[in-house]
Chain A
Amino acid sequence: MTPPPGLLFDGRVRAGGTTCLGPVRMAAEAGRWTCLLGPSGVGKSTLLHCFAGLAGGMTLKGRAGATDGDPLDGRVALMAQSDGLLPWLTVAENVTLGARLRGKRPDRNRAAALLSRVGLGDLGDRKPRALSGGQRQRAALARTLYEDRPVVLLDEPFSALDVAHRARMQDLSARELASCTVLQVTHDPAEAARLGDRLLILTAAGIAEIDTRQAPPIPRAADAGATLDLTGRLTRRLLEVA
């Protein structure tokens, strides 16, 4: 895999006369995991959609793209806020959907391996309707990992998971995506403190960053002092900007 590019957004997004995002300037460092927090409706999902090339129906004034200047098409995987599992495909078929859509042969073994890593090893033959909310979210995570792209956009990927699964999926994702540029939206300061090489807070006034230079590499232990300290500082800032 070619080295992953960084991401840069500089501009504003409007739809039907209302502002959905910005004006703001935001960067995600190449090969790092960036967590993006901020109040509901401030435009976090909109930002991810811009990087994914999905500004359909909205107008972007400015730029959203890769720092290496090449287009992002074909280099991005997106795990959207809704799981987007197709009800007529089995869970395993959903995981390999991207291959089928690109006219490639689905790699069933890889799909099975990913499903067992997200804890759904036995449920590959089920239809999505027979999964719980958290299981659906893990299936969507497996589908995103299957894409194997250098840039990965995650929109609240673990929001429906219980504490234990959440920790496990965080560790798994950090491991699987270690060489990728990851931009993750989350509302959970403790999660951001575990996963973020960089921690950004998006508000109507712009981007604020929480200093992580003293923190250990990711994934950080949930109960480590540095993680708890980051969680505390993040929470305080989120309360301030609210």
Chain B
Amino acid sequence: MRALRILLPALLGLALWQGAVWVFAPPAFILPGPAEVAGALWQNRALLAEHAGITSLEVLLGLALGAGLGWATAIGLAASPPLARTLRPILVVSQAVPVFALAPILTLWFGYGLASKVAMALLIIYFPVTSAFFDALRSTPAAWLDQARVMGATPARILWHLRVPAALPGLLSGLRLAAVYAPIGAIIGEWVGASRGLGYLMLLANGRAKTDLMFASVLVVAGLTVGLYRAVDALAGRVEARRRA
């Protein structure tokens, strides 16, 4: 049943794809068919794996650093209302800057290597994590806060023993979002300037009209993203289940 739920949409997508190829009969460099892309996937498996490894490393590092930084920022904002009043508008405005526009600057600052892509992934997830966690930190049930105050708790202890654990679900939903965004950040970074990674491979394949390889790279990126999301989701689910039972 479960397998069917995943398999059916996948089969439908493949059928549509193959149908379009049959009906419109486009040249292979415009739209290769599923069979050709599968062939390219298999032939270039070593190449794809090598570049996927690079991209995965960037994504994982960006995810870890961005999540850590977002966690710390949210706690800092929650600890100090004046700080929150000052910084929160800046954070929100910073979101109006398209990340694409930052990518060349990051490449300029951090070079063509790993660092600029990690920075890109970090930047793209920093706000969702910070914002989800901070919102949760601000919405601790009033009855719990009241009780803690009557018990004689200081604001710092209320934050640490009450607000942070109560906001854990918010942090986890921020991390789930981050798992989807982080690969986008890394790929953008690789587009702007890189000599390795799936984003680089896509551009390379595109430039040489190897559209089947380009599609294969896209599929691998999608697979990576889904895999990462499922891993984070499963981990978050386990943390949530343990927390309550």
Chain B 138-151: CB-based contact to A (< 8 A → 1; otherwise 0):
00001110111111
CA distance A76 to B152 in the complex (A): 9
Per the CB 8 Å criterion, the residue count for chain B at the interface is: 22
B residues in contact with A88, CB < 8 Å: 165-166, 168, 243-244
Q: Which of A102, A129, A130 contacts B151 (CB 8 A)?
A: A102
Residues of B near A77 (CB, < 8 A) are: 150
**A73: nearest chain-B partner, CB-CB:** B152
Q: Does B230 contact A (CB under 8 A)?
A: no
Total chain A interface residues with beta-carbon distance under 8 A: 26
Q: In the docked arrangement, what's the CA distance between A87 and B149, Å?
A: 18
- Cβ of B83 under 8 Å from chain A: no
A101 pairs with B157, CB closer than 8 A: yes
In the complex, whether B54 has a CB less than 8 A from a CB of chain A is no
A80 at interface (Cβ–Cβ under 8 A)?
yes
Chain A residues near B152 (CB-CB < 8 A): 73-74, 98, 101-102
Give the residues in chain A near B65, CB-CB below 8 Å.
none
Q: Which residue of the partner chain, among A78, A87, A102, contacts B153 with CB atoms under 8 Å? A: A102
Contact status A80-B147, CB under 8 Å: yes
How far apart are the CA atoms of A148 and B139 in the complex, in Å?
30
Nearest neighbor of A99 in chain B, beta-carbon distance: B151
Residue B102 interfacial (CB < 8 Å): no
CB-contacts of A96-140 with B (<8 A):
97-98, 100-103, 127, 129-130
- Closest residue to A72 on the B side, CB-wise? B150
Report Cα–Cα, A103/B165, bound state, in Å. 17
Name the CB-closest residue of A to B165: A88
Please, which residues of chain B bring their CB within 8 A of the CB of A74? 152
Decide yes or no whether A53 CB sits under 8 A from chain B.
yes
Q: Chain B interface secondary structure, helix, strand, loop or mixed?
A: helix
Cα distance, A69 to B10, chains bound together (Å): 74
For the complex, is B97 an interface residue (Cβ under 8 Å from A)? no
Contact of A87 with B157 at beta-carbon distance under 8 Å, contacts A49-B146, A80-B147 already known: no
CA distance A222 to B158 in the complex (A): 41
In the bound complex, CA of A87 to CA of B142 (Å): 15
Say how far A138's CB is from chain B's closest CB, in angstroms.
17
Residues of chain A with a CB closer than 8 A to B168's CB: 88
Contacting B at CB under 8 A, from A29-74, are 49, 52-54, 56, 73-74
A10 at the interface (CB under 8 A from B): no
Could you tell me the distance between the alpha carbons of A103 and B151 in the complex, rounded to whole angstroms? Answer: 11
Q: How far is the CA of A136 from the CA of B168 in the complex (A)?
A: 23
Please tell me if the beta carbons of B143 and A129 are within 8 angstroms of each other in the complex.
Answer: no
Q: Which of B142, B143, B151, B245 contacts A101 (CB 8 A)?
A: B151
Contact of A86 with B143 in the complex, beta carbons under 8 Å: no
Nearest B residue to A54 by beta-carbon distance?
Answer: B146
The reply on B162 being an interface residue by CB < 8 A is yes
Q: Which of B147-198 contact A (CB under 8 A)?
A: 147-154, 157-158, 161-162, 165-166, 168
Task: Give the contacts of B223-245 with A (CB-CB under 8 A).
Answer: 243-245
Residue among B144, B148, B151 with max Cβ neighbours from chain A (10 Å): B151
| Cβ distance A124 to chain B, nearest Cβ, rounded Å | 15
Asked if A127 and B147 make an inter-chain contact with CB atoms under 8 angstroms apart, the answer reads no
Question: A101 contacts B161, CB within 8 Å?
Answer: yes
CB-nearest residue of chain B to A129? B244
Instruction: Give the shortest distance, in Å, between A137 (CB) and chain B (any CB).
Output: 14
Q: CB within 8 A of B245: which of A52, A98, A129?
A: A129
Please give the residue numbers on chain A whose beta carbons come within 8 Å of chain B beta carbons, in ascending order.
49, 52-54, 56, 73-74, 76-78, 80, 82, 84, 86-88, 97-98, 100-103, 127, 129-130, 147
In the A-B complex, the 9 residue pairs with the closest CB atoms: A101-B153, A98-B151, A88-B243, A78-B150, A84-B147, A54-B146, A101-B151, A52-B150, A88-B165
Sample (7) of A-B pairs whose CB atoms are under 8 Å apart:
A52-B150, A78-B150, A84-B144, A88-B166, A101-B151, A101-B153, A129-B244
Given contacts A86-B144, A97-B148, A101-B162, 6 further A-B contacts (CB under 8 A): A86-B165, A98-B152, A100-B161, A101-B158, A102-B153, A103-B157
